[in-house]
């Protein structure tokens, strides 16, 4: 159970914002506006064009909805904290943000895994693709990956909520599960054991179909014709770019939360973060261009 005296958490990372707060506010507001505009445009294009009601684009639509969900759980909060002079967060809102951000990551990874399986069927089993990847199966896949991601993290969150905490200062810009657990002064053995188990499951379950799919696709590419290789490259490039970009972003976030990054120059951290965002928007721009071309095709 939560401490009766603990009603808020303090975010210590905002102490260095200083006079640059308005610059940071405009930058983050611009990024959030672009994310909402781009993802909403992609969702509208897919929904309005019946020619795009295919498995790959339905999975992409799920990916874009998740992007809106995750960014809304983070960016408005950052904007409010940057302009505020008191950087405190109510306990229950903090846990809500943890739930949103962690389930966003899990949905993203699982969605990319299902998309890799879809690409495997399209390239390696083209004659069976329409029967093995029907619209009903697509919606079942999407429903299961969202439900699995939400249900799996609810267990972690419930174990975290029950802990007794001896402090309320978080050295971060937002709430994260690991930072909250570190504040506990009660026994966290169960949390650590389940955390290791859950991490292994949430990584291995999506990773296995991704590896299986791309091993099979690579075999087809090396043994097939030039036309087959071109088809594989054109259909897999956006997915691979999204997967690598998401993986890089997750690894950088884990390094920042688990290890002391104060010795790393601030400019290096900014460049790494900007790299992640720039590549992210480049991928979305390519997808918009591809979808727009299909939109114009009669």
Domains and CATH numbers, the chain: 8-296 (1.20.1070.10)
Residue 274: half-sphere exposure toward Cβ, Cα within 13 Å = 7
Separation of alpha carbons 231 and 233, rounded Å: 5
For residue 256, CA distances in Å to 31, 102, 243, 262, 294 come to 21, 15, 20, 9, 40
Residue 144 pLDDT: 94
Top pLDDT among 41 and 230 is at: 41
Separation of alpha carbons 160 and 198, rounded Å: 14
**How many Å separate Cα 226 from the centre of its chain?**
34
Residue 259 pLDDT: 60
Residue 4 pLDDT: 45
Separation of alpha carbons 78 and 218, rounded Å: 42
Three-class SS state of 10:
strand
Top pLDDT among 70 and 248 is at: 70
Separation of alpha carbons 169 and 127, rounded Å: 58
In the chain, the percentage of residues whose pLDDT exceeds 90 is 11
Give the model confidence (pLDDT) of 53-78 as tens digits: 888 889 989 988 998 998 898 889 98
Name the pTM for this structure. Answer: 0.81
Task: Supply 177's token pair.
Answer: 């599960």
Decide: 185 and 166 in contact? Cβ < 8 Å. yes
**Whether pLDDT at 18 is above 50:** yes
Stretch 144-166: mean pLDDT, rounded? 87
Stretch 192-211: mean pLDDT, rounded? 80
Out of 45-54, 126-135, 188-197, 224-233, pick the least confident: 224-233
Decide: 112 and 246 in contact? Cβ < 8 Å. yes
């Amino acid at each position: 159970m939560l401490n009766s005296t603990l009603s808020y958490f303090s975010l210590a990372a905002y102490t260095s914002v200083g006079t640059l707060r308005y610059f940071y506010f405009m930058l983050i507001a611009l990024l959030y506006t672009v994310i909402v505009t781009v993802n909403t445009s992609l969702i509208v294009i897919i929904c309005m064009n019946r020619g795009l009601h295919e498995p790959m684009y339905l999975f992409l639509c799920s990916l874009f909805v998740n992007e809106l969900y995750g960014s809304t759980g983070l960016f408005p909060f950052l904007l409010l904290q940057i302009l505020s002079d008191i950087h405190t967060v109510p306990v229950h809102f903090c846990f809500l943000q943890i739930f949103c951000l962690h389930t966003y990551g899990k949905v993203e990874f699982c969605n990319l895994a299902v998309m890799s399986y879809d690409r495997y069927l399209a390239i390696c089993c083209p004659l069976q693709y329409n029967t093995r990847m029907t619209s009903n199966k697509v919606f079942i896949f999407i429903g299961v990956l969202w439900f699995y991601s939400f249900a799996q993290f609810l267990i972690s969150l419930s174990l975290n909520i029950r802990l007794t905490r001896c402090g309320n200062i978080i050295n971060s810009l937002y709430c994260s599960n690991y930072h909250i657990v570190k504040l506990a002064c009660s026994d966290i053995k169960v949390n650590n054991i389940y955390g290791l188990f859950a991490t292994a499951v949430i990584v291995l379950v999506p990773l296995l179909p991704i590896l299986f799919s791309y091993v099979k696709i690579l075999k087809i590419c090396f043994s097939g014709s030039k036309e087959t290789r071109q088809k594989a490259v054109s259909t897999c490039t956006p997915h691979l770019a999204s997967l690598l970009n998401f993986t890089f972003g997750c690894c950088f976030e884990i390094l920042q939360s688990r290890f002391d990054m104060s010795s790393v120059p601030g400019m290096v951290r900014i460049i790494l973060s900007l790299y992640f965002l720039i590549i992210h928007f480049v991928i979305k721009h390519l997808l918009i261009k591809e979808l727009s071309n299909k939109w114009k095709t009669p």
